[in-house]
Every structure is written in C-alpha cells, then in structure tokens.
Amino acid sequence: MTDLLAFGAAVLELTPPDRERLETTDQLNLAATGPAVNTAVAAARLGGDAAWLSKLPDTALGRRIVAELGSHGVETTVKWTDEGRQALAFAERAGSPRGNTRIDDRTASAVASATPEELPLSVIGSPEMVFVDAALPARSATLTDTATTLLAEAGDAGTETVLGLGREEPSAATVEAVEGVLPTVDTLIAAEAGTAALGDRANPTETAHALAAEHDLETVVIVRDEHGGVVWNDRTVHERAPPATETIDDRGAFDAFCGGFLARRATGEDAGTALAAGVASEALARTVPGPVPAITPEELERCVESIAESGTIE
C-alpha cells in the first residue's frame, strides 16, 4: 500500500552554478521540483512508499520529470497529453543585498487542465495519506475542482488528507482556494506566513489551536523555518527546536519538512515524534544545494537525536 500520494505540479528549475547570474552564465543546472514533487521525494528517500500524481506533456521535458522522480524512489502515475507544455523556472542564488531571484514560466502548462476524470484516486489504490500543495487550486478553476474532488474522494475512503501551505506569503487567490478546500482536509501543514494569512494569533501555539477549532482539523502543523515547528493534535501541542544549521540552500526545506513529518505519521508514529522528523528533515535540506531535498535516513536519525524537545503543552 502507498504511504503517501502527492498530487501537484512539477517544474523544471534551471539555476546557474554557484552564485552566477542568469544573464552572464553559460551553464545551467536542471532539477525537477515543486512542493508535491519534493514532498514525495523526501518521504521516499526516508523510507516511505511515496507516489506522485499529475499531468505532464508527452515530451522529453515531461519524461525528464518522471525519470528524476524515479531516481529518488518515487512511483509516478501520470496522465500524458499532447496539449500544454512543461512548466519552467529560472533561479538565481545570492546573498544580501542582491538576494535570490526566481522567474516562473508556467503559462499554458499541461497540469493546469488536469480534470478529476483524468486523475481519479482509484488509479493509485488506497494510500494512507493524500497530500496537495495549497497553491495548486489557485492555478486554475479546473485545478480547484480537481484538487477538491481528489481530497473529498480520499476523505470518503478513509484516507488522511493533507494540505501544505508553503513559506512564501500566499496570494489572495491562494488564501481563497485554501479556505475553499479546508473542509475536505484533515491535516494542515503551514509556514508562519501562511497561518498569518488565515488568521494569526499571539503565538504559534494559539494559532494552531485556533485553526484546528475554526476548520475542524485533526492536526495543525506550523513550520517556523529556522525556529523549528509546532504541532497541534488530539488537543495537545508539541514543540521542537531545530539543531544548529548552516543554511546552504533553503529552497527544498519546507517540502522536506512535509515529507519527513508525513513519512513518520504514515508508519503510526505520534505527532511529537513526527514533528521531530519534520524539523530534522527541514534542517538537513537547508544543507543541500539545489531545490530537491536529497537527504538520507541515517542523517535524519542523527539529526533527530540532536533535537531538544522544548515541551508539551496541554
């Protein structure tokens, strides 16, 4: 049985080596990425049975996505199409004051037209969990319908449904889409910027309590970037502080948190134990160049051991 099914868009991200500029480089590194992609990759690399569901163009670029996911142990179920194109992104990495830059080129991408009929839950069987990136439903009206239908079908089948709301401040369209799909969601994993948009409180603990109560959620996880994380589950809040981390590249960090947390939950671990795995995965991903969280179970175990529990709050 599949532990985790991640539904979402894939992007081919092109980045100059080191910290070169796009306008002057003569080389580009290529990686298949995206919130659902990276979440599945992290879960699979940490020993989970992870799958990715999406729609891709039947081109060399679409096939590149599938090949790269397969290299990390992720099973792929894809609706191939001759219409639409592969989404791209161009990224620069730089320190202050220049900062990082990302240029998205995803107009007319194949996934934007993915319908519920093309991607039914039945094609994957009965996964333990279904994960959807919160920005996906905001991409098109069709994707709103597809994501909502998939989550509703999963919930009706007894599958845990998970929504991930990443680190970038969400647009008004994303917030609206999130509020529309939350009735079908069991677990919300969100960065602090996302929870602030949904209704911030005085501190992460109060925010987690409030979101769980307002949206009838079973679990709320708040990812605090370099400050660890908080999880609300069964009327109890757990907090975990991160280990000392030298950040090399933070692009895949939030997604690694999602993958690490969900991989542990899928095996029956309690929320506090899963939170430690998520925090450790996020920290490890920060040490890996590139957007893909290429981390290992051995690294995770060592990192979890170094994480101090800051407390359990009733």
Residue 187, Cβ density class (10 Å: 0-12 exposed, 13-18 middle, ≥19 buried): buried
pLDDT of residue 308: 61
Q: Specify whether the CB–CB gap between 218 and 161 falls below 8 A.
A: no
Q: Please give the mean pLDDT across all residues of the chain.
A: 94
The percent of residues above 70 in pLDDT, for the chain, comes to 98
What pLDDT score does 1 carry?
Answer: 79
The string of pLDDT tens digits covering residues 25-65 is 999 999 999 999 999 999 999 999 999 999 999 999 999 99
pLDDT score for 260: 98
> Which residues belong to the active site?
255
**Token reading at 79:** 């609706």
pLDDT digits (tens, 9 = 90+) for 139-157: 999 999 999 999 999 999 9
Of 121-125, 157-161, 259-263, give the lowest mean pLDDT range. 121-125
Predicted local confidence at residue 312, as pLDDT: 52
Domains in the chain with CATH codes? 4-8+35-54+74-80+115-313 (3.40.1190.20)
Q: What's the pLDDT score for residue 80? A: 98
User: Which backbone phi and psi does 244 adopt, to 5 degrees?
Assistant: -60, 130
Write out pLDDT tens, residues 240-256: 999 999 999 999 999 99
pTM summary value: 0.95
With cut-offs at 50, 70 and 90, classify the pLDDT of residue 309.
low
Amino acid code (one letter) for 232: W
**Three-state secondary-structure class, residue 258:** helix
Q: Is the predicted pLDDT of residue 263 greater than 50, yes or no?
A: yes
Angstrom distance (rounded) from CA 61 to CA 41: 18
- In the predicted model, what is the mean pLDDT of residues 200-219? 91
State the pLDDT at residue 196: 86
pLDDT at 183: 96
Coil, strand or helix at 261: helix
* CA–CA separation, 303 and 243 (whole Å): 7
Query: What is the distance of C-alpha 187 from the center of its chain?
Result: 13
Could you tell me if 6 and 131 are in contact, meaning their C-beta atoms sit under 8 angstroms apart? Answer: yes
